[in-house]
Amino acid sequence: MNVKEMMKAAVMVGLVGGFALASTGPADAGKVRWKMQSAFGSSLPHLGTSAVRFVDNVKVMSGGDLNIKFFEPGALVPSLECFDAVSKGSLQSCWTTPGYHVAKYPALSFFTTVPFGPQIGEFLGWKWFGGGNELKQEIYDKHNLIAFDSFAIGAETSGWFKTEITSLDQIKGLKMRFFGLGAKVMEKMGVQTQLLPGADIYPALERGVIDATEFSMPSIDKNLGFYQIAKHNYFPGWHQQSSVGELLMNKAKWNTLSKQHQAIIKASCDATIAWSLIRSDAIQADAMKWMEKEGGVTLHDWSPEFLAKFKAGWDAVVAEELEKDPLFAETYKSYTAFRKKYAVWGDRAYLK
């Protein structure tokens, strides 16, 4: 090969190499592939469908460069073990709720919902602008985690029972799935509570592992089939007047994302909160009508006397937790201070 041919070959190699770099280097460097396990099935209204909507929105908004793959509950790790999996980096993210991390920090339930607490506007007001989420992030910082509120729903129902409850003596000794700080109240009532992920509740009811349950709103509970076993559903959801979930992420992985991708994730979470909240409120009346007409369910309202007993139970829980849990005390102080300030506006602006 003469010098001219050698130079020509070198140019061709350079062009081919440049093509390879252009097609596989910068373009691939901009693509991100994450795994996200959901605590809620993809077909479960609001809680799971919001997760599917979120990953679809992220993909479209990023032009396909940020692809977060949805995994069903338990597909990669048990639903209640997402905290550790994401912290260690074996999963980049989970679509879950702070209330599922209570084995680590019982006070984390506070950041999902509070018994006899506010409606969603006031609750998110505390979380976003009153210091609530900053307190939560201080905990997560210790575990290489970062989280954004990612979906929200309004009030839930407060229990599915196999028989009508005419006296609170009837619930003493019952084994009941119950969530969050409300579970501590039910324990004051003599109930044996368990925390179960949504997908595990129906089998537990069917096999008699639990006698009763609460989970969520009528449209969600209908999807899970509780009405097939327990025909008595109780209102209002004193334990969950509003509920907020989270996108839990490995902080080191988050820090590797571009500012654009971070902004897309945050904006998609905010949009999903609005969608899940508005849609869930809009369709509950139809679900309740179906429960009564087709599902054979009797819908009950707790009497003022029963609600007063639940409230007294909550007050007792607060007093105990303030004494023994400094994190609970710090969170409760922030929460109550915001509610007191908010009342200056809320008590005068809204119809009672």
Dihedral sign, CA of 324, 327, 333, 335?
Answer: negative
Identify the domain containing residue 55 by its residue range. 31-155+243-282
Q: Judge if 175 and 151 occupy the same domain.
A: no
In angstroms, the CA 280 to CA 153 distance is 6
In a domain, 10, yes or no: no
In a domain, 12, yes or no: no
Residue reference for tokens 């201080």: 138
Would you tell me how many other CB atoms lie within 10 Å of the CB of residue 342? 17
Q: Judge if 274 and 317 occupy the same domain.
A: no
In a domain, 235, yes or no: yes
**For position 123, what pLDDT does the model report?**
98
pLDDT, tens digit, 9 for 90 and up, residues 63-109: 999 999 999 999 999 999 999 999 999 999 999 999 999 989 999 99
Strands 298-301 and 32-38: unpaired
Whether residue 272 contacts residue 50, with contact meaning beta carbons closer than 8 Å, is answered with yes
Q: Judge if 61 and 124 occupy the same domain.
A: yes
In a domain, 9, yes or no: no
Q: Judge if 204 and 79 occupy the same domain.
A: no
Q: Judge if 66 and 209 occupy the same domain.
A: no
Reduced to 3 states (helix: H, G, I; strand: E, B; else coil), residue 41 is: coil
CATH number at residue 110: 3.40.190.170
In the predicted model, is pLDDT for residue 7 greater than 80?
A: no
Percent of the chain topping pLDDT 90: 91
Q: Judge if 230 and 307 occupy the same domain.
A: yes
Strands 212-213 and 243-250: unpaired
What CA–CA distances, in Å, run from 29 to 60, 121, 332?
Answer: 18, 40, 45
pLDDT, tens digit, 9 for 90 and up, residues 109-164: 999 999 999 999 999 999 999 999 999 999 999 999 999 999 999 999 999 999 99
Rounded to the nearest 10 degrees, how much is the dihedral formed by the CA atoms of 84, 85, 90, 94? -130
Q: Judge if 186 and 320 occupy the same domain.
A: yes
Pair of tokens at residue 132: 């609530």
In a domain, 50, yes or no: yes
Q: Judge if 248 and 223 occupy the same domain.
A: no
Residues 258-261: contacts with CB under 8 Å, at least 24 apart: 258/30, 260/62, 261/32, 261/62, 261/65, 261/66
CATH number at residue 173: 3.40.190.10
Specify the amino acid at residue 48: G
| Prediction pTM value | 0.89
DSSP string, 163-224: S--SSGGGGTT-EEE--HHHHHHHHHTT-EEE---HHHHHHHHHHTS-SEE--S-HHHHHHH
Q: Judge if 145 and 232 occupy the same domain.
A: no
Q: Judge if 89 and 227 occupy the same domain.
A: no
Q: Judge if 264 and 235 occupy the same domain.
A: no
**For position 35, what pLDDT does the model report?**
98
Which value, in Å, is the radius of gyration of the alpha carbons in the chain?
A: 24
User: H-helix or E-strand containing 160?
Assistant: strand 159-161
In a domain, 215, yes or no: yes
In a domain, 18, yes or no: no
In a domain, 8, yes or no: no
Instruction: Count up the domains in the chain and report the number.
Output: 2
Q: Judge if 288 and 307 occupy the same domain.
A: yes
